[in-house]
Structure 1
Amino acid sequence: MSETPAANILGTIGTVCWCIQLIPQIIHNYRHKNCEGLRPLMLFLWSASGVPFSIYFVSRRSSIPIMVQPQIFTTLCVITWAQALYYPPVQVSRKRLITLISTFLVVGIALEAGFIIPCRNAYDDGTEWPSLIFGVIASILLAVGLVPPYFELAKRQGRVVGINFVFLSLDFSGAFFSILSLVFAREMDIMGIVLYCIVAAMELGIFTSHVVWWIRIGRHQKKTVDDEEAHKDLHIDIIY
Protein backbone atom coordinates (compact mmCIF):
# COMPACT_ATOMS: atom_id res chain seq x y z
CA MET A 1 0.00 0.00 0.00
CA SER A 2 1.39 3.44 -0.96
CA GLU A 3 1.76 5.83 1.93
CA THR A 4 1.02 9.55 2.13
CA PRO A 5 3.84 11.96 1.19
CA ALA A 6 3.96 13.21 4.78
CA ALA A 7 4.38 9.67 6.14
CA ASN A 8 7.20 8.95 3.69
CA ILE A 9 9.03 12.22 4.38
CA LEU A 10 8.76 11.92 8.16
CA GLY A 11 9.62 8.22 8.03
CA THR A 12 12.70 9.04 5.94
CA ILE A 13 13.85 11.64 8.48
CA GLY A 14 13.35 9.13 11.29
CA THR A 15 15.24 6.47 9.35
CA VAL A 16 18.14 8.86 8.62
CA CYS A 17 18.39 9.61 12.36
CA TRP A 18 18.37 5.90 13.17
CA CYS A 19 20.88 5.22 10.39
CA ILE A 20 23.46 7.33 12.17
CA GLN A 21 22.28 7.49 15.78
CA LEU A 22 24.75 4.96 17.20
CA ILE A 23 27.70 6.14 15.13
CA PRO A 24 28.68 8.84 17.70
CA GLN A 25 28.50 6.18 20.44
CA ILE A 26 30.60 3.76 18.39
CA ILE A 27 33.21 6.48 17.78
CA HIS A 28 33.14 7.44 21.48
CA ASN A 29 33.72 3.82 22.52
CA TYR A 30 36.54 3.37 20.02
CA ARG A 31 38.36 6.54 21.09
CA HIS A 32 38.11 5.83 24.81
CA LYS A 33 38.55 2.02 24.53
CA ASN A 34 36.21 1.84 27.51
CA CYS A 35 32.47 1.21 27.90
CA GLU A 36 31.96 1.85 31.60
CA GLY A 37 28.35 2.87 32.17
CA LEU A 38 27.20 1.35 28.87
CA ARG A 39 25.79 -2.04 29.79
CA PRO A 40 26.09 -4.86 27.22
CA LEU A 41 22.66 -6.12 28.30
CA MET A 42 21.03 -2.96 26.97
CA LEU A 43 22.70 -3.33 23.59
CA PHE A 44 21.93 -7.05 23.38
CA LEU A 45 18.24 -6.42 24.06
CA TRP A 46 18.19 -3.60 21.50
CA SER A 47 19.90 -5.85 18.96
CA ALA A 48 17.39 -8.60 19.71
CA SER A 49 14.45 -6.19 19.39
CA GLY A 50 15.46 -5.41 15.82
CA VAL A 51 14.44 -8.92 14.70
CA PRO A 52 10.73 -8.81 15.75
CA PHE A 53 10.81 -5.11 14.92
CA SER A 54 11.69 -6.02 11.30
CA ILE A 55 9.18 -8.89 11.11
CA TYR A 56 6.42 -6.60 12.37
CA PHE A 57 6.92 -3.67 10.00
CA VAL A 58 7.84 -5.69 6.90
CA SER A 59 4.92 -8.09 7.29
CA ARG A 60 2.50 -5.16 7.68
CA ARG A 61 3.86 -3.43 4.56
CA SER A 62 4.80 -0.17 6.28
CA SER A 63 6.49 2.61 4.30
CA ILE A 64 9.86 1.66 2.83
CA PRO A 65 11.89 3.87 5.24
CA ILE A 66 10.14 2.26 8.22
CA MET A 67 10.82 -1.26 6.85
CA VAL A 68 14.52 -0.50 6.22
CA GLN A 69 14.99 1.12 9.60
CA PRO A 70 15.13 -2.07 11.76
CA GLN A 71 17.91 -3.57 9.63
CA ILE A 72 20.17 -0.55 10.05
CA PHE A 73 19.21 -0.18 13.70
CA THR A 74 20.11 -3.82 14.41
CA THR A 75 23.43 -3.57 12.59
CA LEU A 76 24.51 -0.53 14.61
CA CYS A 77 23.31 -2.14 17.85
CA VAL A 78 25.31 -5.31 17.17
CA ILE A 79 28.48 -3.28 16.51
CA THR A 80 28.01 -1.31 19.74
CA TRP A 81 27.17 -4.47 21.67
CA ALA A 82 30.41 -6.05 20.42
CA GLN A 83 32.36 -3.01 21.66
CA ALA A 84 30.69 -3.16 25.08
CA LEU A 85 31.71 -6.81 25.36
CA TYR A 86 35.26 -6.32 24.07
CA TYR A 87 36.31 -3.14 25.89
CA PRO A 88 36.61 -2.73 29.68
CA PRO A 89 35.00 -3.33 32.08
CA VAL A 90 33.70 -6.59 30.52
CA GLN A 91 36.54 -7.58 28.16
CA VAL A 92 35.48 -10.99 26.81
CA SER A 93 37.99 -12.86 24.66
CA ARG A 94 37.98 -12.29 20.90
CA LYS A 95 37.04 -15.91 20.26
CA ARG A 96 34.03 -15.75 22.57
CA LEU A 97 33.01 -12.40 21.08
CA ILE A 98 33.02 -13.79 17.53
CA THR A 99 31.02 -16.82 18.68
CA LEU A 100 28.38 -14.69 20.42
CA ILE A 101 27.93 -12.24 17.54
CA SER A 102 27.92 -14.95 14.87
CA THR A 103 25.32 -17.00 16.73
CA PHE A 104 23.11 -13.95 17.20
CA LEU A 105 23.26 -13.03 13.49
CA VAL A 106 22.48 -16.58 12.32
CA VAL A 107 19.49 -16.89 14.66
CA GLY A 108 18.22 -13.40 13.77
CA ILE A 109 18.39 -13.99 10.01
CA ALA A 110 16.72 -17.40 10.38
CA LEU A 111 13.84 -15.92 12.39
CA GLU A 112 13.23 -13.13 9.88
CA ALA A 113 13.39 -15.51 6.92
CA GLY A 114 11.02 -17.92 8.64
CA PHE A 115 8.34 -15.52 9.89
CA ILE A 116 8.09 -12.51 7.55
CA ILE A 117 6.34 -14.27 4.65
CA PRO A 118 3.79 -16.23 6.78
CA CYS A 119 2.98 -13.11 8.83
CA ARG A 120 2.63 -11.01 5.67
CA ASN A 121 0.31 -13.56 4.07
CA ALA A 122 -1.80 -13.65 7.23
CA TYR A 123 -1.93 -9.85 7.34
CA ASP A 124 -2.99 -9.67 3.68
CA ASP A 125 -5.80 -12.12 4.51
CA GLY A 126 -6.99 -9.85 7.31
CA THR A 127 -5.40 -11.70 10.24
CA GLU A 128 -3.33 -9.21 12.23
CA TRP A 129 -2.49 -11.06 15.44
CA PRO A 130 0.61 -12.97 14.18
CA SER A 131 2.46 -9.78 13.24
CA LEU A 132 1.04 -8.03 16.30
CA ILE A 133 2.75 -10.59 18.54
CA PHE A 134 6.12 -9.60 17.09
CA GLY A 135 5.27 -5.92 17.57
CA VAL A 136 4.56 -6.58 21.25
CA ILE A 137 7.79 -8.55 21.65
CA ALA A 138 9.78 -5.75 20.00
CA SER A 139 8.17 -3.16 22.28
CA ILE A 140 8.98 -5.18 25.39
CA LEU A 141 12.60 -5.75 24.36
CA LEU A 142 13.11 -2.06 23.58
CA ALA A 143 11.60 -0.98 26.89
CA VAL A 144 13.49 -3.56 28.95
CA GLY A 145 16.68 -2.66 27.08
CA LEU A 146 16.44 0.89 28.40
CA VAL A 147 16.11 -0.29 32.01
CA PRO A 148 19.83 -1.17 32.62
CA PRO A 149 20.96 2.46 32.09
CA TYR A 150 18.66 3.46 34.94
CA PHE A 151 20.58 1.14 37.29
CA GLU A 152 23.76 2.93 36.20
CA LEU A 153 22.06 6.27 36.91
CA ALA A 154 21.08 5.06 40.38
CA LYS A 155 24.70 4.10 41.11
CA ARG A 156 25.90 7.60 40.19
CA GLN A 157 23.16 9.74 41.76
CA GLY A 158 21.53 10.27 38.36
CA ARG A 159 24.68 11.10 36.39
CA VAL A 160 25.01 9.67 32.88
CA VAL A 161 28.38 8.00 32.27
CA GLY A 162 29.46 6.15 29.14
CA ILE A 163 26.41 7.11 27.05
CA ASN A 164 27.04 9.67 24.33
CA PHE A 165 24.48 12.50 24.30
CA VAL A 166 24.68 12.98 20.54
CA PHE A 167 23.64 9.34 20.21
CA LEU A 168 20.74 9.85 22.63
CA SER A 169 19.62 13.00 20.80
CA LEU A 170 19.64 11.31 17.39
CA ASP A 171 17.89 8.23 18.75
CA PHE A 172 15.19 10.36 20.36
CA SER A 173 14.77 12.32 17.12
CA GLY A 174 14.48 9.10 15.14
CA ALA A 175 11.72 7.85 17.42
CA PHE A 176 9.94 11.22 17.33
CA PHE A 177 9.84 11.50 13.53
CA SER A 178 8.89 7.84 13.19
CA ILE A 179 5.92 8.47 15.49
CA LEU A 180 4.82 11.35 13.25
CA SER A 181 5.30 9.17 10.19
CA LEU A 182 2.94 6.55 11.58
CA VAL A 183 0.43 9.19 12.68
CA PHE A 184 0.22 10.57 9.10
CA ALA A 185 0.08 7.11 7.49
CA ARG A 186 -3.07 6.06 5.62
CA GLU A 187 -3.75 3.52 8.36
CA MET A 188 -2.58 4.57 11.81
CA ASP A 189 -0.36 1.86 13.33
CA ILE A 190 -1.09 2.06 17.05
CA MET A 191 1.42 -0.64 18.03
CA GLY A 192 4.17 1.06 16.03
CA ILE A 193 3.38 4.38 17.71
CA VAL A 194 3.47 2.74 21.15
CA LEU A 195 6.81 1.11 20.31
CA TYR A 196 8.44 4.42 19.36
CA CYS A 197 6.83 6.28 22.27
CA ILE A 198 8.43 3.82 24.71
CA VAL A 199 11.87 4.59 23.28
CA ALA A 200 11.30 8.36 23.33
CA ALA A 201 9.96 8.36 26.91
CA MET A 202 12.75 6.22 28.34
CA GLU A 203 15.45 8.30 26.65
CA LEU A 204 13.84 11.52 27.80
CA GLY A 205 14.09 10.09 31.31
CA ILE A 206 17.85 9.58 30.88
CA PHE A 207 18.28 13.18 29.70
CA THR A 208 16.20 14.46 32.60
CA SER A 209 18.17 12.42 35.13
CA HIS A 210 21.47 13.93 34.02
CA VAL A 211 20.07 17.47 34.00
CA VAL A 212 18.76 17.00 37.56
CA TRP A 213 22.15 15.58 38.61
CA TRP A 214 23.92 18.61 37.10
CA ILE A 215 21.62 21.05 38.90
CA ARG A 216 21.87 19.23 42.25
CA ILE A 217 25.50 18.06 42.23
CA GLY A 218 27.46 18.51 39.02
CA ARG A 219 27.68 22.29 38.88
CA HIS A 220 28.77 22.44 42.52
CA GLN A 221 31.50 19.87 41.87
CA LYS A 222 32.71 21.91 38.89
CA LYS A 223 32.78 25.06 41.01
CA THR A 224 34.78 23.24 43.70
CA VAL A 225 37.31 21.99 41.13
CA ASP A 226 37.63 25.48 39.60
CA ASP A 227 38.19 27.00 43.05
CA GLU A 228 40.88 24.42 43.83
CA GLU A 229 42.64 25.11 40.53
CA ALA A 230 42.50 28.85 41.18
CA HIS A 231 43.90 28.33 44.68
CA LYS A 232 46.80 26.25 43.29
CA ASP A 233 47.60 28.93 40.71
CA LEU A 234 47.57 31.63 43.41
CA HIS A 235 49.84 29.53 45.63
CA ILE A 236 52.34 29.08 42.78
CA ASP A 237 52.28 32.83 42.04
CA ILE A 238 53.03 33.62 45.68
CA ILE A 239 55.95 31.17 45.77
CA TYR A 240 57.55 32.60 42.65
Structure 2
Amino acid sequence: MRAYLRFELRRLARDPRLMLFTVLGPVVTYAVFSSMGADGDRFDGLNDAAALMVGLAGYGAVAGVLIVGASVAQERALGWLRQLRVTPLPSRQAVVAKAVVSMLSAVPAVAAVGVAGRVQHHVELDAGRWAALLALMWLGTVPFALLGLAIGYGFTPQLAQPVTFVAFLGLAVLGGLLVPVAYFPAGLRHLAHALPTYRLAELGWRSVAGLAPTRTGLGVLATWTVAFAGAAVLAYRRSTARG
Protein backbone atom coordinates (compact mmCIF):
# COMPACT_ATOMS: atom_id res chain seq x y z
CA MET A 1 0.00 0.00 0.00
CA ARG A 2 2.91 2.37 0.70
CA ALA A 3 4.17 2.09 -2.87
CA TYR A 4 0.70 2.81 -4.23
CA LEU A 5 0.30 5.74 -1.86
CA ARG A 6 3.62 7.22 -3.02
CA PHE A 7 2.53 6.75 -6.62
CA GLU A 8 -0.75 8.58 -5.99
CA LEU A 9 1.05 11.39 -4.19
CA ARG A 10 3.35 11.91 -7.17
CA ARG A 11 0.31 12.08 -9.45
CA LEU A 12 -1.28 14.57 -7.11
CA ALA A 13 1.79 16.82 -7.12
CA ARG A 14 1.75 16.93 -10.93
CA ASP A 15 -1.93 17.88 -11.24
CA PRO A 16 -2.14 21.60 -12.23
CA ARG A 17 -5.86 21.79 -11.43
CA LEU A 18 -5.14 21.59 -7.74
CA MET A 19 -2.81 24.57 -7.81
CA LEU A 20 -5.40 26.59 -9.73
CA PHE A 21 -8.58 25.72 -7.83
CA THR A 22 -7.34 24.97 -4.33
CA VAL A 23 -4.43 27.38 -3.88
CA LEU A 24 -4.36 30.23 -6.40
CA GLY A 25 -8.13 30.77 -6.52
CA PRO A 26 -8.73 31.04 -2.75
CA VAL A 27 -5.60 33.14 -2.20
CA VAL A 28 -6.55 35.67 -4.91
CA THR A 29 -10.13 35.79 -3.64
CA TYR A 30 -8.88 36.40 -0.13
CA ALA A 31 -6.52 39.15 -1.26
CA VAL A 32 -9.36 40.98 -3.03
CA PHE A 33 -12.28 40.58 -0.64
CA SER A 34 -10.38 40.83 2.62
CA SER A 35 -9.04 44.22 1.52
CA MET A 36 -12.59 45.42 0.88
CA GLY A 37 -13.98 44.26 4.20
CA ALA A 38 -11.09 44.33 6.66
CA ASP A 39 -12.39 47.22 8.73
CA GLY A 40 -11.84 45.71 12.14
CA ASP A 41 -15.47 44.67 12.75
CA ARG A 42 -15.91 41.52 14.76
CA PHE A 43 -17.50 38.33 13.49
CA ASP A 44 -18.04 35.50 15.99
CA GLY A 45 -15.13 36.79 18.05
CA LEU A 46 -12.82 37.16 15.04
CA ASN A 47 -12.05 40.13 12.85
CA ASP A 48 -13.16 40.01 9.24
CA ALA A 49 -9.73 39.12 7.88
CA ALA A 50 -9.33 36.08 10.16
CA ALA A 51 -12.91 34.87 9.62
CA LEU A 52 -12.62 35.13 5.82
CA MET A 53 -9.20 33.46 5.93
CA VAL A 54 -10.71 30.37 7.52
CA GLY A 55 -13.71 30.36 5.18
CA LEU A 56 -11.58 30.49 2.05
CA ALA A 57 -9.14 27.95 3.43
CA GLY A 58 -12.11 25.62 3.82
CA TYR A 59 -13.30 26.54 0.32
CA GLY A 60 -9.98 25.53 -1.22
CA ALA A 61 -9.69 22.42 0.93
CA VAL A 62 -13.12 21.10 -0.03
CA ALA A 63 -12.47 21.86 -3.71
CA GLY A 64 -9.22 19.88 -3.70
CA VAL A 65 -10.62 16.92 -1.82
CA LEU A 66 -13.67 16.60 -4.08
CA ILE A 67 -11.65 16.99 -7.29
CA VAL A 68 -9.21 14.23 -6.33
CA GLY A 69 -11.92 11.91 -5.06
CA ALA A 70 -14.13 12.34 -8.10
CA SER A 71 -11.17 11.70 -10.42
CA VAL A 72 -11.83 8.03 -9.74
CA ALA A 73 -14.52 8.26 -12.43
CA GLN A 74 -11.90 9.03 -15.08
CA GLU A 75 -9.65 6.26 -13.77
CA ARG A 76 -12.53 3.81 -14.07
CA ALA A 77 -13.13 4.85 -17.68
CA LEU A 78 -9.44 4.37 -18.54
CA GLY A 79 -9.39 0.89 -17.02
CA TRP A 80 -6.98 1.82 -14.24
CA LEU A 81 -9.14 0.28 -11.52
CA ARG A 82 -9.34 -3.01 -13.42
CA GLN A 83 -5.55 -3.10 -13.52
CA LEU A 84 -5.38 -2.46 -9.78
CA ARG A 85 -7.68 -5.40 -9.12
CA VAL A 86 -5.20 -7.84 -10.68
CA THR A 87 -2.35 -6.59 -8.47
CA PRO A 88 -1.69 -7.90 -4.94
CA LEU A 89 -3.07 -4.65 -3.53
CA PRO A 90 -6.44 -5.33 -1.83
CA SER A 91 -9.31 -3.22 -3.12
CA ARG A 92 -10.03 -1.85 0.34
CA GLN A 93 -6.48 -0.54 0.68
CA ALA A 94 -6.67 1.07 -2.74
CA VAL A 95 -9.82 2.92 -1.72
CA VAL A 96 -8.31 3.99 1.61
CA ALA A 97 -5.16 5.24 -0.14
CA LYS A 98 -7.24 7.31 -2.55
CA ALA A 99 -9.18 8.81 0.35
CA VAL A 100 -5.95 9.69 2.18
CA VAL A 101 -4.51 11.34 -0.94
CA SER A 102 -7.76 13.25 -1.40
CA MET A 103 -7.49 14.61 2.14
CA LEU A 104 -3.84 15.58 1.67
CA SER A 105 -4.87 17.85 -1.19
CA ALA A 106 -6.51 20.07 1.44
CA VAL A 107 -3.24 20.91 3.17
CA PRO A 108 -1.79 23.33 0.56
CA ALA A 109 -5.04 25.33 0.47
CA VAL A 110 -5.20 25.82 4.22
CA ALA A 111 -1.49 26.63 4.42
CA ALA A 112 -1.52 29.07 1.47
CA VAL A 113 -4.55 31.05 2.65
CA GLY A 114 -3.09 31.09 6.15
CA VAL A 115 0.13 32.59 4.81
CA ALA A 116 -1.90 35.17 2.87
CA GLY A 117 -3.74 36.12 6.06
CA ARG A 118 -0.49 36.47 7.96
CA VAL A 119 1.24 38.54 5.25
CA GLN A 120 -1.62 40.75 4.10
CA HIS A 121 -3.53 41.40 7.32
CA HIS A 122 -1.07 40.31 9.99
CA VAL A 123 -3.33 37.59 11.36
CA GLU A 124 -1.20 36.63 14.33
CA LEU A 125 -1.51 33.20 15.95
CA ASP A 126 0.92 31.30 18.09
CA ALA A 127 2.42 28.08 16.76
CA GLY A 128 -0.11 25.95 18.62
CA ARG A 129 -3.09 27.68 17.03
CA TRP A 130 -1.60 27.48 13.54
CA ALA A 131 -0.97 23.76 14.08
CA ALA A 132 -4.49 23.23 15.41
CA LEU A 133 -5.98 25.14 12.46
CA LEU A 134 -4.12 23.00 9.92
CA ALA A 135 -4.68 19.68 11.70
CA LEU A 136 -8.36 20.14 12.49
CA MET A 137 -9.30 21.46 9.06
CA TRP A 138 -7.42 18.56 7.49
CA LEU A 139 -9.27 16.03 9.65
CA GLY A 140 -12.51 17.84 8.90
CA THR A 141 -12.20 16.97 5.21
CA VAL A 142 -12.89 13.26 5.84
CA PRO A 143 -16.58 13.44 4.81
CA PHE A 144 -15.71 15.36 1.65
CA ALA A 145 -13.11 12.76 0.65
CA LEU A 146 -15.80 10.09 0.99
CA LEU A 147 -18.29 12.20 -0.96
CA GLY A 148 -15.77 12.61 -3.77
CA LEU A 149 -15.21 8.86 -3.91
CA ALA A 150 -18.96 8.24 -3.92
CA ILE A 151 -19.31 10.55 -6.92
CA GLY A 152 -16.29 9.05 -8.68
CA TYR A 153 -17.45 5.47 -8.25
CA GLY A 154 -21.11 6.25 -8.83
CA PHE A 155 -21.04 8.36 -12.00
CA THR A 156 -19.48 8.30 -15.43
CA PRO A 157 -16.71 10.84 -16.16
CA GLN A 158 -19.19 12.94 -18.15
CA LEU A 159 -21.51 13.21 -15.15
CA ALA A 160 -18.98 13.15 -12.32
CA GLN A 161 -17.54 16.58 -13.15
CA PRO A 162 -20.83 18.53 -13.15
CA VAL A 163 -22.13 16.60 -10.12
CA THR A 164 -18.91 17.44 -8.26
CA PHE A 165 -19.21 21.12 -9.20
CA VAL A 166 -22.85 21.36 -8.12
CA ALA A 167 -22.16 19.54 -4.85
CA PHE A 168 -19.13 21.72 -4.13
CA LEU A 169 -20.78 25.02 -4.98
CA GLY A 170 -23.94 24.21 -3.05
CA LEU A 171 -22.07 23.07 0.05
CA ALA A 172 -19.65 26.01 -0.09
CA VAL A 173 -22.28 28.72 -0.49
CA LEU A 174 -24.94 27.28 1.84
CA GLY A 175 -22.27 26.35 4.38
CA GLY A 176 -21.09 29.93 4.73
CA LEU A 177 -17.59 29.58 3.32
CA LEU A 178 -18.00 32.63 1.08
CA VAL A 179 -20.68 34.70 2.84
CA PRO A 180 -21.03 34.76 6.64
CA VAL A 181 -23.99 32.72 7.84
CA ALA A 182 -24.97 35.65 10.05
CA TYR A 183 -26.23 37.39 6.91
CA PHE A 184 -28.48 34.45 5.94
CA PRO A 185 -32.25 34.34 6.55
CA ALA A 186 -33.21 32.30 9.61
CA GLY A 187 -34.16 29.19 7.63
CA LEU A 188 -30.89 29.14 5.71
CA ARG A 189 -28.92 29.65 8.93
CA HIS A 190 -30.44 26.48 10.36
CA LEU A 191 -29.61 24.64 7.15
CA ALA A 192 -26.03 25.93 7.19
CA HIS A 193 -25.49 24.67 10.74
CA ALA A 194 -26.47 21.17 9.58
CA LEU A 195 -23.97 21.11 6.70
CA PRO A 196 -20.43 19.69 6.91
CA THR A 197 -18.93 22.76 5.22
CA TYR A 198 -20.08 25.06 8.01
CA ARG A 199 -18.80 22.65 10.64
CA LEU A 200 -15.46 22.36 8.82
CA ALA A 201 -15.09 26.15 8.90
CA GLU A 202 -16.22 26.16 12.52
CA LEU A 203 -13.25 23.96 13.38
CA GLY A 204 -11.01 26.63 11.87
CA TRP A 205 -12.79 29.59 13.45
CA ARG A 206 -12.62 28.05 16.90
CA SER A 207 -8.98 27.08 16.42
CA VAL A 208 -8.08 30.66 15.54
CA ALA A 209 -10.00 31.87 18.60
CA GLY A 210 -8.20 29.36 20.81
CA LEU A 211 -11.38 27.34 21.51
CA ALA A 212 -11.99 23.60 21.41
CA PRO A 213 -14.37 22.08 18.81
CA THR A 214 -17.99 21.83 19.87
CA ARG A 215 -19.67 18.48 20.42
CA THR A 216 -22.46 19.52 18.08
CA GLY A 217 -20.01 20.38 15.30
CA LEU A 218 -18.13 17.12 15.68
CA GLY A 219 -21.41 15.23 15.74
CA VAL A 220 -22.56 16.83 12.49
CA LEU A 221 -19.25 15.98 10.80
CA ALA A 222 -19.41 12.41 12.11
CA THR A 223 -22.96 11.99 10.82
CA TRP A 224 -22.04 13.18 7.34
CA THR A 225 -18.93 10.98 7.41
CA VAL A 226 -21.02 7.88 8.08
CA ALA A 227 -23.56 8.86 5.40
CA PHE A 228 -20.94 9.55 2.73
CA ALA A 229 -18.99 6.42 3.70
CA GLY A 230 -22.10 4.35 3.10
CA ALA A 231 -22.64 6.05 -0.26
CA ALA A 232 -19.00 5.48 -1.26
CA VAL A 233 -19.10 1.78 -0.30
CA LEU A 234 -22.36 1.27 -2.20
CA ALA A 235 -21.04 3.07 -5.28
CA TYR A 236 -17.79 1.10 -5.15
CA ARG A 237 -19.62 -2.23 -4.97
CA ARG A 238 -21.83 -1.30 -7.90
CA SER A 239 -18.84 -0.18 -9.97
CA THR A 240 -17.09 -3.47 -9.17
CA ALA A 241 -20.18 -5.46 -10.15
CA ARG A 242 -20.27 -3.66 -13.48
CA GLY A 243 -16.66 -4.65 -14.05
TM over 0.5: no
TM-score after normalising by structure 2: 0.33
Work out which of the two has the higher radius of gyration on C-alpha atoms and give 1 or 2.
1
TM-score after normalising by structure 1: 0.33
